[in-house]
Amino acid sequence: MSLLCLADFKAQAQKQLSKTSWDFIEGEADDGITYNDNLAAFRRIRLRPRYLRDVSKIDTRTTIQGQEINAPICISPTAFHSIAWADGEKSTAKAAQKANICYVISSYASYTVEDIVAAAPGGLHWFQLYVQPDWDINKQMVQRIEALGFKALVVTVDAPVLGNRRGNKRSLLDLEANIKLKDLRSPGESKSGLPTPLSMPSSSSCWNDLPLLQSMTRLPIILKGILTKEDAELAVKHNIRGIIVSNHGGRQLDEVPASIDALRKVVAAVNGKIEVYMDGGVRTGNDVLKALALGARCIFLGRPIIWGLACKGEDGVKEVLDILKEELHTCMALSGCRSVAEISPDLIQFSRL
């Protein structure tokens, strides 16, 4: 069967994965209100195409933190890729490198950062950091990723405690027992005694900790999980270089705004001072264009990447990225946009539905 859109990959991935794995990937917090609204919110936005424009050449390229990417479609940090495909994050990294887009590698990866970078040494990599209570561990991790050529540090801020994921509670322990986490151990230190990321990050982490983290690195620091104008303003005040507007795919605090709805207020709050990105609910090229029209520099994909990985490994991830890029290309042409720079708020309107 041909897989023509992201929904096709989702259906096929569910057939191929065990219920335990599927429940972990798709698991949402509480009643799943935010999980569902991430998708529904995009349907409340309509496009306003402009015609009689020369769209014979379409350019989907853009830049993030000064690095050029072939499309404003990148990969969010998601955990445990090996539950979907044996080579896990190594296959994901290879696909991202071929697509020339950014891959944010998770702290909860199935392989060490060294193994993942070795699989795709020419790729654009950012690293997601869950700040640990032990700052020696944070410093060690930062030093490792700098040495490996990572281009940014993404600090996830919306998980001081684990969200109430009811569905996962029935199977998560079995999943954890079969995955060996390595990111917070140095190469060869499987018995080092260092805490593993199975324990949650520091619940006391706060804005006052950011200067200490900034003193450890020259890499740009991006905050992932910002949803309000107040926190966006604080990010600018603390010299943060970018924000990923995100509600953790509806897996943390339920009943918060959909990412695409929160995006508008965050973009307005930073007023062009720093780059803003978003993840959550993107399933089509039209969704990508809507996010860019609302001010996102690019979008990040979470679950759809795992669907592609489960279906075809590296090739599946690349197909998911290619499908979304081609859909964006078509949407841009049909909307009268020749380049990403021409995508503006005038291209969308909000439906009353």
Please write the tens of the pLDDT for every residue from 256-306: 999 999 999 999 999 999 999 999 999 999 999 999 999 999 999 999 999
Provide the domain limits for residue 264.
12-50+64-175+214-337
Q: What is the mean pLDDT of residues 23-47?
A: 92
Q: Is residue 304 a known part of a binding site?
A: no
* Of the candidates 260, 278, 324, 344, the residue with the CA atom closest to the CA atom of residue 41: 260
Is 202 part of a structural domain of the chain?
Answer: no
Q: 176 versus 103: which is more confidently predicted? A: 103
Is 300 part of a structural domain of the chain?
Answer: yes
When pLDDT is cut at 50, 70 and 90, the band that residue 177 belongs to is very low
Q: What is the mean pLDDT of residues 208-227?
A: 97
Q: Is residue 238 a known part of a binding site?
A: no
Model pLDDT, residue 197: 45
Cα(275)–Cα(277) distance, integer angstroms? 7
Model pLDDT, residue 1: 67
Model pLDDT, residue 170: 67
Q: Is residue 50 a known part of a binding site?
A: no
- Under DSSP, the state recorded for 228 is S
- Beta-sheet pairing, 45-47 with 348-350: antiparallel
HSE of 214 in the Cβ direction (CA atoms, 13 Å)?
A: 14
Neighbour count for residue 192 (Cβ, 10 Å): 10
Q: Is residue 23 a known part of a binding site?
A: no
Please say if the pLDDT value at position 194 is more than 60.
no
Q: Is 64 buried (19+), middle (13-18) or exposed (0-12) by CB count in 10 A? A: buried
Name the token pair of 285.
């090229």
Q: Is residue 79 a known part of a binding site?
A: yes
Is 278 part of a structural domain of the chain?
Answer: yes
Q: Is residue 248 a known part of a binding site?
A: yes
Cα(59)–Cα(62) distance, integer angstroms? 9
When pLDDT is cut at 50, 70 and 90, the band that residue 250 belongs to is confident
Q: Is the CB of residue 135 less than 8 Å from the CB of residue 112?
A: no
Which single residue is written with the structure tokens 């450890």? 216
As a whole-number percent, the residues of the chain with pLDDT over 90 amount to 78
If DSSP codes are grouped into helix, strand and coil, which group holds residue 206? coil
Q: 246 versus 162: which is more confidently predicted? A: 246
Cα of 346 vs its chain's centroid, Å: 26
Q: Is residue 282 a known part of a binding site?
A: yes
Q: 161 versus 172: which is more confidently predicted? A: 161
Q: Is residue 203 a known part of a binding site?
A: no
Is 31 part of a structural domain of the chain?
Answer: yes
Q: What is the mean pLDDT of residues 349-353?
A: 79
- Under DSSP, the state recorded for 150 is -
Is 182 part of a structural domain of the chain?
Answer: no
Residue range 77-104, pLDDT digits in tens: 999 999 999 999 999 999 999 999 999 9
Please say if the pLDDT value at position 186 is more than 70.
no
Q: Is residue 303 a known part of a binding site?
A: yes
Please say if the pLDDT value at position 199 is more than 60.
no
CA distances from 254 to 33, 163, 334 (A): 6, 8, 36
Q: 169 versus 99: which is more confidently predicted? A: 99
Check which CATH number belongs to the domain holding 110 and give it: 3.20.20.70
Is 184 part of a structural domain of the chain?
Answer: no
Q: Is residue 106 a known part of a binding site?
A: yes
Q: Is the CB of residue 133 less than 8 Å from the CB of residue 204?
A: yes
Model pLDDT, residue 290: 98
Please say if the pLDDT value at position 230 is more than 70.
yes
Please say if the pLDDT value at position 183 is more than 70.
no
Q: Is the CB of residue 181 less than 8 Å from the CB of residue 108?
A: yes
Round the average pLDDT of the chain to a whole number and report it. Answer: 90
Q: Number of structural domains, the chain?
A: 1
Which single residue is written with the structure tokens 């708020």? 345
Is 143 part of a structural domain of the chain?
Answer: yes
Q: What is the mean pLDDT of residues 49-54?
A: 97
* Of the candidates 158, 107, 165, the residue with the CA atom closest to the CA atom of residue 137: 107
Residue range 111-146, pLDDT digits in tens: 999 999 999 999 999 999 999 888 999 999 999 999
Please say if the pLDDT value at position 43 is more than 70.
yes
Write out the catalytic residue numbers: 248
